[in-house]
Amino acid sequence: MAVGTSSGIPSTPLLKDEVDIVIPTIRNLDFLEMWRPFFQPYHLIIVQDGDPRKTITVPDGFDYELYNRNDINRILGPKAACISFNDSTCRCFGFLVSKKKYVAKDPSGKEINAPEQHIKNLLSPSTPFFFNTLYDPYREGADFVRGYPFSLREGVSTVVSHGLWLNIPDYDAPTQLVKPHERNTRQEYVDAVITVPKGALFPMCGMNLAFNRELIGPAMYFGLMGDGQPIRRYDDMWAGWCVKVICDHLGLGVKTGLPYIWHSKASNPLVNLKKEYHGIHWQEEVIPFFQAVSLPKKCTTPQECYIELSKQVKEKLGKVDVYFNKLADAMVTWIEAWDELNPSEKLSNVSAE
């Protein structure tokens, strides 16, 4: 699929017909001008949060579809209850309606061709079963180091590419409060992509993320946050924990590192503290839950894994707080909505059994 370049290093295919870029927004889309060179080839799915009467202008020259809350309610009917309102969690509606193989979540920052690096990450295997100390062995200029078992060098399909951030790091509110001026300049020099090992959870940030919709899309639900919910800013964390335990079960890979984006908007740490408050103490029970999760062999598709996970959430986290019962039900609604909007994929998943 890659074609040669003058330097002999294969260039990365655009995959413009296989990638959608999902952008949740409650503001304007002016940042698209800065990203035009990298985003213009792709189809954009814009999820307009907040008041649907507000008109959001999309700069000329972009191929896009735009959904506001009225559209979400019209398309999903009662199932729209699983899509959060007044929170960036609404982005997962874009994952539902996309028909592409890959989804990249919008970064908004300095000129870095993030889609190209995410595609590179997703097109090369991951190595979750044995840690390669020279990072990603499939990158130009790297390889498996001595002692790496040859039987494991084929790797597994990479289904999540988790990019990082320059400038404003994605810190939680307490850290933001004690380190208000800390800027992430150090990572400028960490030129690495690393597979998250099997059995290890990680804090997935939704700002700069790409994933294989066909292989793991049904697990990429960002949960119930925003209006009427007791918790926010744990949308991507919840999705990341569910995705990782399902990837470990299905033998799929998650990579983190490049591409970095310039994160320019620091949200208000005191507002964030209120949003994160329950998450900060609940996660001390939620993480051990995910670390102990075991999915039965009969679960061979992301949908089946996700439904099984929702049962365990209700059974084991329902006692932490009633919120997790609601979340477990919303997880089921999400899969019902996914299968309703993507019937062919459900069949293909069945045929993959």
Ligand X SMILES: O=c1ccn([C@@H]2O[C@H](COP(=O)(O)OP(=O)(O)O[C@H]3O[C@@H](CO)[C@H](O)[C@H]3O)[C@@H](O)[C@H]2O)c(=O)[nH]1
- Using CB under 5 A, list all residues that contact Mn ion: 265
54/265 with CB nearer Mn ion = 265
83/123 with CB nearer ligand X = 83
**What's the closest the beta carbon of residue 15 comes to ligand X, in angstroms?**
23
**What's the closest the beta carbon of residue 294 comes to ligand X, in angstroms?**
28
Residues engaged in binding ligand X (CB under 6 A): 24-27, 49, 86-88, 90, 205-207, 233, 235-236, 265, 267
Binds 236, which of ligand X, Mn ion, none (CB < 5 to 8 A, cut-off by type)? ligand X
Tell me 13's DSSP state.
P
d(C-alpha 351, C-alpha 301), whole Å: 10
177/347 with CB nearer ligand X = 177
Give burial (CB, 10 Å; 0-12/13-18/19+) of 178. exposed
Binds 87, which of Mn ion, ligand X, none (CB < 5 to 8 A, cut-off by type)? ligand X
**What's the closest the beta carbon of residue 105 comes to ligand X, in angstroms?**
8
Q: Is 210 helix (H, G, I), strand (E, B) or coil?
A: strand
Binds 88, which of ligand X, Mn ion, none (CB < 5 to 8 A, cut-off by type)? ligand X
138/241 with CB nearer ligand X = 241
24/223 with CB nearer Mn ion = 24
Across the strands, what pairs with 170?
none
Cβ proximity of 10 and 4 under 8 Å: yes
**What's the closest the beta carbon of residue 235 comes to ligand X, in angstroms?**
5
**What's the closest the beta carbon of residue 275 comes to Mn ion, in angstroms?**
13
* Tokens standing for residue 96: 């539902």
Spatial CB neighbours of 329, under 8 Å, sequence gap ≥ 6: 310, 314
**What's the closest the beta carbon of residue 92 comes to ligand X, in angstroms?**
11
Residue position matching structure tokens 């799929």: 252
Q: Is 92 helix (H, G, I), strand (E, B) or coil?
A: helix
155/257 with CB nearer ligand X = 257
Binds 157, which of ligand X, Mn ion, none (CB < 5 to 8 A, cut-off by type)? none
d(C-alpha 282, C-alpha 320), whole Å: 7
Binds 49, which of ligand X, Mn ion, none (CB < 5 to 8 A, cut-off by type)? ligand X
d(C-alpha 103, C-alpha 38), whole Å: 14
Tell me 51's DSSP state.
-
225/295 with CB nearer ligand X = 225
Query: Which residue number places its CB atom closest to ligand X?
Result: 88
Binds 136, which of Mn ion, ligand X, none (CB < 5 to 8 A, cut-off by type)? none
Tell me 226's DSSP state.
B
Q: What is the DSSP string of 242-304?
A: HHHHHHHHHT-EEEEEEEEEEE--PPPHHHHHHHHHHHHHHHHHHHHHHHH----TT--SHHH
**What's the closest the beta carbon of residue 8 comes to ligand X, in angstroms?**
38
Binds 235, which of ligand X, Mn ion, none (CB < 5 to 8 A, cut-off by type)? ligand X
